[in-house]
């Protein structure tokens, strides 16, 4: 029997590959990883698209099991034990290996003698190419996280600084917090938007102002940035402008991402002009 790790792409239920869809429909159990990203549709829409057309009774079709962080990282045996006897599909928004936690699941399965197959799909790491920025010129990716009491990491600032020093673009992923109750029901979700990410980066820059003489060249109100929302979907939104301009712009529903461009080629500049705020 096999554990299938299947990328879903970034848009909606129809972005799955044909091969991925065939596997999902034949698998005995289907899990949806629900904490590193999200599609622009509900898991109920996934169920209807994947299974309903093969069932006469819409209430009897196979259900998708939501897999939160606790299940995948601390209780993965539930998934692996099933894969020892039946085909199991593990669905991931974007590409399968956009998050390192999925490598861990793969390695654990292989160590237990479970066959693993990978079905890749588009991820945010490649979808940003629509901005016109050269994918080969992106440096290290970073994540802007929600601050908590006694926890306000400044890593994003350092990554941006390092990338800019090398003329490279920086993709900033924005934090997600999703909480589930004991029944697996979603009780709280928070998705950072471009506006909050910019406020946090500016707060770090202000904190570093005295210690970092290059602060003014890293990020300030006049720094040109690219704000992205729902990349890969039918209603994706991209805006290019200064930090000051984007701070008050409404990018709408999640997921959002932020790009700090490095040294621009004239072709990159030409494409970015399409997205001027």
Q: Is 19 helix (H, G, I), strand (E, B) or coil?
A: helix
Where exactly are the structural domains of the chain? Answer: 2-122, 125-275
**What is the Cα–Cα distance from 229 to 250, expressed in whole angstroms?**
10
Q: What percent of the chain has pLDDT over 70?
A: 92
CB under 8 Å to 60, separation ≥6 — which residues?
Answer: none
Strand order in the sheet with 88-92: 64-67, 29-33, 88-92, 2-7, 115-119
Which letter does DSSP use for residue 151 in this model? Answer: B
173-198: average pLDDT: 83
Look at residue 212 in the predicted model and tell me its pLDDT. 62
Compute how many other C-beta atoms are within 10 angstroms of the C-beta atom of residue 173. 22
Spatial separation of the C-alpha atoms in residues 221 and 198, rounded to whole Å: 10
Class of domain 2-122 as given by CATH: alpha beta
Exposure b/e, 76-88, CB count within 10 A at least 16 = b: beebbebbeeebb
Greatest mean pLDDT among 9-13, 98-102, 211-215: 9-13
Q: Does domain 125-275 have CATH number 3.90.209.20?
A: no
Q: 11, 233 in Cβ contact below 8 A?
A: yes
Helix (H) or strand (E) holding 171, with range, is strand 170-174
Q: What is residue 127's predicted lDDT score, i.e. its pLDDT? A: 95
pLDDT in tens, 35-89: 888 888 888 889 889 987 655 544 556 789 988 888 888 899 999 999 999 999 9
pLDDT digits (tens, 9 = 90+) for 153-180: 999 999 999 999 999 999 999 999 877 6
Backbone angles phi, psi at 74, to 5 degrees: -115, -20
Evaluate if residue 246 carries a pLDDT over 60: yes
Alpha-carbon distance values, 32 to 6, 66, 184, 190 (Å): 10, 5, 12, 19
Q: Do residues 53 and 17 touch, judged by C-beta distance below 8 A?
A: no
As a whole number of angstroms, the distance between CA 229 and CA 239 comes to 9
Mean predicted lDDT score pLDDT of the chain: 90
Q: Same fold for the domain at 2-122 and the one at 125-275? A: no
Report which of residues 5 and 211 the model is more confident about: 5
Please determine, for residue 134, whether its predicted confidence score (pLDDT) is greater than 70: yes
Res 199 pLDDT > 90: yes
Cβ-based neighbours of 216, under 8 Å, separated by 6 or more: none
The residues pairing with 241 across neighbouring beta strands, listed in sequence order, are 225
pLDDT of residue 19: 97
């Amino acid at each position: 029997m096999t554990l299938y790790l299947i990328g879903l792409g970034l848009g909606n239920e129809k972005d799955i590959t044909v091969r991925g869809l065939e596997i999902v429909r034949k698998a005995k159990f289907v899990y949806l990883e629900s904490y590193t990203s999200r599609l622009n549709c509900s898991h109920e829409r996934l169920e209807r698209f994947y299974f309903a057309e093969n069932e006469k009774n819409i209430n009897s079709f196979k259900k998708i099991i939501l897999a939160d962080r606790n299940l995948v990282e601390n209780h993965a045996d539930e998934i692996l034990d099933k894969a020892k006897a039946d085909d199991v599909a593990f669905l991931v928004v974007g590409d399968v290996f956009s998050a390192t936690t999925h490598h861990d699941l793969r390695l654990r399965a292989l160590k237990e003698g479970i066959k693993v197959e990978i079905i890749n799909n588009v991820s945010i790491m490649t979808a940003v190419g629509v901005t016109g920025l050269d994918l080969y010129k992106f440096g290290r990716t970073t994540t802007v996280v929600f601050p908590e009491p006694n926890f306000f990491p400044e890593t994003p600032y350092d990554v941006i600084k390092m990338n800019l020093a090398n003329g490279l673009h920086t993709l900033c992923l924005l934090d997600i917090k999703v909480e589930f109750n004991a029944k697996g029901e979603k009780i709280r979700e928070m998705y950072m938007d471009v506006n909050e990410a910019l406020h946090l980066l500016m707060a770090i820059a202000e904190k570093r102002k005295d210690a970092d003489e290059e602060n003014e060249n890293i990020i300030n109100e006049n720094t040109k940035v690219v704000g992205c929302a729902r990349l890969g979907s039918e209603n994706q939104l991209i805006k290019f402008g200064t930090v000051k301009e984007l701070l008050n712009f409404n990018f709408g529903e999640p997921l959002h991402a932020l790009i700090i461009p490095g040294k621009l080629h004239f072709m990159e500049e030409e494409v970015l002009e399409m997205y001027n705020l």
